[in-house]
């Protein structure tokens, strides 16, 4: 397991090399426990991770979805991947213009 602090990377994700991915994360507006992460791996693949409470509020969940670059077994969603890269840039802009408390 790795630890994310803002957009800094501490640790390694399982199976990744020593290069560091670009990580953009934003805490949700309704709860400091809800967070969206967009991770751009060194090979260009994009992972979206959403974590937070379920509708029951007593349960906590995290889900990750990966969109790969064209080539090694992926690339079926190039427009979605491009939109996620744009989302990562938007998160970074929001973090700069309207910083929120960090949630590791």
Q: Which two tokens stand for residue 17?
A: 């090399």
Is a pLDDT exceeding 70 seen at residue 78?
Answer: yes
Is a pLDDT exceeding 80 seen at residue 73?
Answer: no
What is the sign of the dihedral through the CA atoms of 94, 83, 35 and 57? Answer: positive
8 Å CB contact between 40 and 46: yes
pLDDT tens-place string over residues 11-34: 444 555 568 999 999 999 988 889
Q: What is the DSSP letter of 49?
A: E
Q: What is the DSSP letter of 78?
A: H
Q: Rounded distance, CA 45 to CA 69, Å?
A: 5
């Amino acid at each position: 397991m790795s630890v994310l602090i803002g957009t800094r990377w501490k640790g390694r994700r399982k199976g990744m090399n020593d290069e560091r991915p670009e990580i953009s994360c934003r805490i949700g507006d309704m709860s400091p426990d809800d967070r969206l992460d967009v991770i751009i791996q060194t090979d260009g693949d994009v992972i979206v991770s959403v974590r937070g409470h379920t509708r029951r509020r007593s349960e906590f969940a995290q889900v990750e979805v990966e969109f790969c670059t064209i080539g090694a077994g992926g690339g079926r969603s190039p427009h979605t991947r491009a939109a996620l890269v744009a989302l990562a840039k938007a998160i970074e802009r929001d973090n700069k213009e309207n910083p929120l408390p960090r949630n590791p």
